[in-house]
Amino acid sequence: MQQSHGMGYKEYGRKLDKRMAVEKRRNKDYEKCKHLVAELDSQLHT
C-alpha cells in the first residue's frame, strides 16, 4: 500500500478523500488493463 499509493493502511482507512483517490486510481488501472487485454485478445484471434 505504501509503495503503490504513497500511504499506509492506517491513513487509507482513516481519510475518506484519500481512500476515494486510491479507489479511483485502482478503477482507472483496471479499465486500462481490461481494454489492453481485449485489444491483445482480438489481435491474437485475427
15-26 pLDDT tens trace: 999 999 999 999
Residue 46 has pLDDT above 80, yes or no: no
At 21 the pLDDT is 93
Select from 8, 5, 10, 9 the least CA-distant residue to 22. Answer: 5
For residues 41 and 2, which has the higher predicted lDDT (pLDDT)?
41
Answer yes or no: pTM beyond 0.85. no
Tell me the longest C-alpha to C-alpha distance in the chain: 49
Q: Say what the pLDDT of residue 15 is.
A: 92
Percent of the chain with pLDDT over 70: 100
In the chain, domain spans: 2-44
Q: Do 11 and 18 meet the contact criterion of CB atoms below 8 Å apart?
A: yes
